[in-house]
Each structure stands twice: as structure tokens, then as C-alpha cells.
Amino acid sequence: MIGIVVVSHSAALAAAAVDLAAQMVPTGGPVVAVAAGTTDGGLGTDATEVAAALEQAASPDGVLVLMDLGSAVLSAELALELSPPEDHEVRLSGAPLVEGLVAAVVRAAGGADLATVAAEAEGALEPKRVALAPADPPADPPEPASSADGPGRDGVVRVTLRNPQGLHARPAALLATAVGDLDAEVRISHGGRDADAGSSLELMALGAGQGAELELSASGPDAATALRVVGDLVADGFGE
């Protein structure tokens, strides 16, 4: 699993963002190391603290660094110069700190590689954009219907969302991490939109509320298991 580093001017902001993200992965997520604030408790960043956090989060699978404003980026770049990682990749993410961290933690908890987690974080504003976009027409053109029935698919399963909030952040994260643990590609479509079930962001962007009907399809060695796991989570109302 990749490691994650949070660089912020504010220790309080970083701690709260990490709490928010950790809530999405109650069964355990990646190491999230923090470098935030000045040593005297003020607002600021310190490249040597970032270097220490990079070491704490070091993983052979790589490390993703999420940052807030201005000098957080400068300090992270300087930290990489002061103590370059020896045998793993470190990526500095342009993602927004809070949304990006939540998305990255969930995706990383599902075992995704660094490039996938980095892309997930970069796209982290999408659910908010979709939620605020005019309802009709949809913000994105729907995927062709055939994509759900393509070769190699092990059938399509229809389920109805029972929990009151629908596919909001926590259920989406539960679903994405459950799917992430399996060797299967699972797609979920609703209302003309199609999502990778391993991406909590794409799931949230479906805008599926209570009573919504979802079409599940899966391919890969664990496809049948994946469909059962997702079906069970939905039928259970995600424990809500």
C-alpha cells in the first residue's frame, strides 16, 4: 500500500483533514504522515518536518504528498532535494487538500498503485462539480450502454439503494475499498452515468440517492465474488 504525506500551514487543519479521511476507512488505511505548522505552534511549513514525514510514510509502493497553499509546495520540493528518496517514487499532488486526501486515502486503502491514487486525488473535485451542476442535461455525456455488456463481462446485476443517503461519501468509500481488495474490475451505472466501483469519487458522482437502481457488472477472476460483495453491501444499506 502506498504512503501519504500531508503538508499544511496549520497543524489543526492537517489533523482534521486526516480525521475526516480516516473515518472513510474504518477497517484500516494507508500510513498518513503529517508535516504541519511551525515548531512554536504557529502557521507555516518546515522542509525538515516534511522530510521526516516522507521518511515516516515511506513505502516501496510509493508516496503521495498532498499540500495546502504556497510555501507548502516550496517546502515539499525542498524536502525532496534535502533527502531524496532512495528506492521509491514520491509524487507531489496538485489536488485540493481535503477532497484529495479523502479520495486518496480511500483509493489507497483499496490497494491501488501510486499512479491510480494520484489520479483519484487529482479528480477529487468532480463529485462537488457534478453535485452543483445543473440537473439536466448531465454534466458528462453518458458512457455508451454497450460498455456494461461488453465481452468478458459476467452478467449484469440490478440492485436498489435502500439506505437513506444513497451513495454518499461513506457508503461510496466502503464500496470502493471492498472492491479494491478483489481481483476484479467492477462498473456501476446509474442514470446514464458509469463509474469504476474502485473509485469512491466516481461512485459519488453517480448522484444515486435512496431508491436509485444501480446496474452492476464485473470482469476478472473475482468477478462473481465482487458482484456478491457489492450486492450484499447495498442490500444491507451499508449498515446505516
Pairing of strands 63-67, 3-8: parallel
Closest CB 91 distance from other proteins, rounded Å:
18
Least Å from the CB of residue 74 to other proteins: 4
Q: Which stretch binds other proteins (CB under 8 A): 35-43, 93-101, 166-174, 194-202?
A: 35-43
Strand segments (E) across the chain = 3-8, 32-36, 63-67, 90-92, 156-160, 185-190, 193-196, 213-219
Binding span for other proteins by CB under 8 A among 22-30, 38-46, 185-193, 224-232: 38-46
Please report whether residue 8 would count as binding other proteins according to CB under 8 A.
no
Quick one: which of 6, 8, 14, 45 contacts other proteins (CB under 8 A)? 45
- Tell me, rounded to whole angstroms, the distance of Cα 15 from its chain centroid: 18
Task: Decide whether 40 or 87 has the Cβ nearer to other proteins.
Answer: 40
C-beta of 45 vs 163, nearer to other proteins: 45
The reply on whether position 83 binds other proteins by CB under 8 A is no
Confirm if 54 and 33 have CB atoms less than 8 A apart: yes
The 3-state secondary structure of 168-229, one letter per residue: CHHHHHHHHHHHHCCCCEEEEEECCEEEECCCHHHHHHCCCCCCCEEEEEEECCCHHHHHHH
Is residue 44 a contact point for other proteins (CB under 8 A)? yes
As a whole number of angstroms, the distance between CA 126 and CA 31 comes to 25
CB closer to other proteins, 47 vs 118: 47
Q: Applying CB under 8 A, which of residues 12, 23, 42, 129 lies at the interface with other proteins?
A: 42
Among the residue ranges 25-33, 44-52, 135-143, 171-179, the one whose residues contact other proteins (CB under 8 A): 44-52
Amino acid in the structure at residue 79: A
Q: Give me the least distance between CB of 83 and other proteins, in Å please.
A: 12
Q: Active-site residues: which are they?
A: 9
**CA torsion angle 190 192 196 198 (round to 10):** -30
Q: Which residues sit at the interface with other proteins, rule CB under 8 A?
A: 38-39, 42-49, 69-71, 74-75, 77-78
